[in-house]
Structure 1
Amino acid sequence: MRLTLSSAVLSNRLLTLSKVLNSKNSLQILECILFEVNNGVLTLTASDKENEMKTQIQLDESDADGKFAISSRTIIDAVKELPEQPITLEIDMATYNVKVIYQNGDYNFTAQNADEFPQVQAIEENAATIKIGSAVLTDNITRTLFATANEEIRPVMNGIYFDLTPEALSIVASDGHKLVRNKVFSIKDENAKSFILPKKPATILKNVLAKDDSEVEIVFDNKNAKIKADFGTLTCRLIEGRYPNYSSVIPTNNPCQLTIDRRTLLGTLRRVLPFASESSQLVRLRLSMGQLEVSSEDIDFYTSAKESIVCDYASNAMSIGFKGTSLLDILNNLTSDEVILELADPSRPCIITPVEQPEGQDILMLIMPMLLND
């Protein structure tokens, strides 16, 4: 078998596929990229048994159909340093000897029989479908991923929850201490549907999806999802189980509102947090008319820090404690110039929202307070 294609295109696609691969595998064949040639089109596949990514390349030339598997490390190292040029792969399908011919030289190595390459479970015929803009999906995954948990007892908390309702598509993550809920109002369905996307495929999508207006199609059943986009397709096993009722923990009446410059509050937290207790990471927010005081202390090492910020606050004076690292994560994953903190009392959750919401969306983040020893 002989096939010719662009070295740069092959290298770029291989690097994208490599994001699926694990450093350690139960099957040796999973260290390989599957090459399938059919009617002048090369399909490349990478898998870790639970996630499978496919991408296609139109070949410049090919003289036969067939399939074989090449070590990902071997083929990626072979082409990544080549300048853009046509390269030819010659494969002896009897011995699986591969020769890669380029402008000033060639590589020789051995491929493997592709029959052992695992196939992912097919999506059921009655699967549901969601269509969403690539940039919208990328932004929502990026904004939500940090709030996922790492739990063994409740694995459903370890992924991103896609909740499609007649009102909107909600994209949710929570670790029990912080919560993110994004609503996309342009996507809705009279028949409620949902799935939980694991962290690994979510991270892959964050890194490979284009930030443009192209459309992403998500087809899912009870066990698997297939995501089709410009990069190709990503098929993944979903987290099975019932996601907790996230709406029940979101307060509907937090009367005290604080509006503040997001970057100013971020800078203050970064300066104050190093002086907090290493075990608790507790920071205290003292709210008074037009002013916010952020402070921390570590009584074991006799360290403390305090800083005041001008803000828009006209409610009752209040002191409330938060885990500083969680508050930093929330503010880092918002992009608006100003944010609103909605509070009720020092024992109830605080809602944080951007002053300017993206068009057609609603972003809400929640953080649980920590007990203050006054």
Structure 2
Amino acid sequence: MKFIISSTNLLKSLQTISGVVTTSNTLPILEYFLFKTKENDLEITASDQETTMSITVTPIMMEDGGAIAIPSKILLDTLKTYHDTPLTFLTDPSTFAVEIIADNAKFKLSGQDPQDFPEIPELINPATVTVNGEILVRGISKTIFATGTDELRPEMTGVLFEFTEDKATLAATDAHKIIRYRHPDVHSSETMSFIMPKKPLNQLKNTVPSDETPVLIEYNLKNARYTFNNVVLTSTLIEGKFPNYEAVIPRDNPNILIIDRIALMTSIRRVSLFGNQSTHLIRFRISGQMISLSAEDYDFQNEASEVLSCAYDGEDIEIGFNSKFLLEMLSNIDTPNIRIETSAPNRAGVIFPETDENEVEDLLMLIMPVMI
């Protein structure tokens, strides 16, 4: 195998997929990149067995084809020491030795048999839908933080993807909060749903362009594949049934609070410093056009309260929330003002961005109350 490639081009390509690389004592090949010629192009792949990501690059010159697995860390570290420099790669198919030549320098390292690299799963007769890159990235960004960490409930450790003929829905929950993101500018010829793990979603969030780049999504019962530009990501899906989150969302919430998001976040951060650092309990007392936030930690005799002005329509109410969860949710909303709807101190609160009527994006955040 022999090819010449720009160090900058190669480094950028490897950094796109390097987040998939994992350290494995049982399968050292997972710490390698698979280089494989594809006509006049070079396909480079990283895999942790659950997630596989490939990128196709065009070298300056391709002389001899073939395949080789090259150790990821030393290759990345070497490329970072160069500016835009042509690099010549030579590989020996019998010993899997790799030689890299750059200007007056020469580097040798040991590769691995490409046959040992995990195979990319084939998707037979998959369901397909095409999503705008910006919609996909926003949907992932708005939901991924709400995924659970309980491995005994794996279906809650990922994000639910649902596609219908008139919208896309992404949802996540950890039993304390629910996030639902909807967008109508996605149309699927058939209804489809699956649960994506968190790691490949973070890869997509960091690599899919936040613009109108089309992303082809294909899936079957076990795997999903995302194709955009010169990148392909394939992921094993999470098995199991996602919780019926819609049944938990309260429909009748007569108490409606509208408040400046940044002012509320600043107040929560300040007041919660004096609260219990285990429960993160913060009290909301809403009356008239004022909201009082308070927290206390009896163990250290700390307490704090702060009053903010707001627009409120409803009965006076006192309700407790987890300040840590609230800050997570509010930091993932973009609008200057937010709307919080409640019905009773023992019922969930529902948070919405306060948007104009022309906004097509639909974001709902539910937070369970903490008993006062």
Which category describes the TM-score, using the shorter chain as reference length? Answer: over 0.9
CA distances 1:316-363 after superposition (whole Å, capped 9, x unpaired):
111000011001111011110000001111111111000116842211
Equivalent residue number for residue 162 of structure 2: 163
Tell me, yes or no, if the aligned pair for 1:131 and 1:218 is still in contact at 8 Å. yes
Equivalent residue number for residue 101 of structure 1: 101
Equivalent residue number for residue 115 of structure 2: 115
1:1-374 paired onto structure 2 within 5 Å: 1-125=1-125, 127-189=126-188, 191-230=190-229, 232-356=231-355, 359-372=359-372
Tell me, yes or no, if the aligned pair for 1:149 and 1:175 is still in contact at 8 Å. yes
Q: In the TM superposition, what is the alpha-carbon distance from 1:166 to its structure 2 partner? A: 4.2
Q: In the TM superposition, what is the alpha-carbon distance from 1:40 to its structure 2 partner? A: 1.6
Q: In the TM superposition, what is the alpha-carbon distance from 1:96 to its structure 2 partner? A: 2.2
Tell me, yes or no, if the aligned pair for 2:67 and 2:114 is still in contact at 8 Å. yes
Instruction: Describe the SS at the equivalent of 1:275.
Output: coil
Tell me, yes or no, if the aligned pair for 1:25 and 1:48 is still in contact at 8 Å. no
Distance change >3 Å, CA 184–CA 13, structure 1 → 2? same
Tell me, yes or no, if the aligned pair for 1:34 and 1:117 is still in contact at 8 Å. yes
Bigger shift: residues 332-341 or 151-160: 151-160
Q: How many residues align?
A: 371
2: distance between equivalents of 1:98 and 1:114? Answer: 13
Q: In the TM superposition, what is the alpha-carbon distance from 1:92 to its structure 2 partner? A: 2.2
One-letter identity of the residue aligned with 1:51: T
2: distance between equivalents of 1:89 and 1:291? Answer: 68
Instruction: Describe the SS at the equivalent of 1:252.
Output: coil
Instruction: Describe the SS at the equivalent of 1:325.
Output: helix
1: distance between equivalents of 2:115 and 2:24? Answer: 21
One-letter identity of the residue aligned with 1:360: V
One-letter identity of the residue aligned with 2:277: E
Over the residues paired in the alignment, what is the CA RMSD in angstroms?
1.4
2: distance between equivalents of 1:231 and 1:352? Answer: 38
CA distances 1:250-276 after superposition (whole Å, capped 9, x unpaired):
111101100000000000001011111
Tell me, yes or no, if the aligned pair for 1:4 and 1:60 is still in contact at 8 Å. yes
2: distance between equivalents of 1:314 and 1:55? Answer: 53
Tell me, yes or no, if the aligned pair for 2:20 and 2:203 is still in contact at 8 Å. yes
TM-score by length of 2: 0.97
Instruction: Describe the SS at the equivalent of 1:235.
Output: strand
Tell me, yes or no, if the aligned pair for 1:4 and 1:62 is still in contact at 8 Å. yes
Tell me, yes or no, if the aligned pair for 2:128 and 2:188 is still in contact at 8 Å. no
One-letter identity of the residue aligned with 2:9: V
Tell me, yes or no, if the aligned pair for 2:227 and 2:233 is still in contact at 8 Å. yes
Tell me, yes or no, if the aligned pair for 1:254 and 1:343 is still in contact at 8 Å. yes
Q: In the TM superposition, what is the alpha-carbon distance from 1:128 to its structure 2 partner? A: 1.1
1: distance between equivalents of 2:359 and 2:257? Answer: 23
1: distance between equivalents of 2:122 and 2:212? Answer: 28
Instruction: Describe the SS at the equivalent of 1:63.
Output: strand
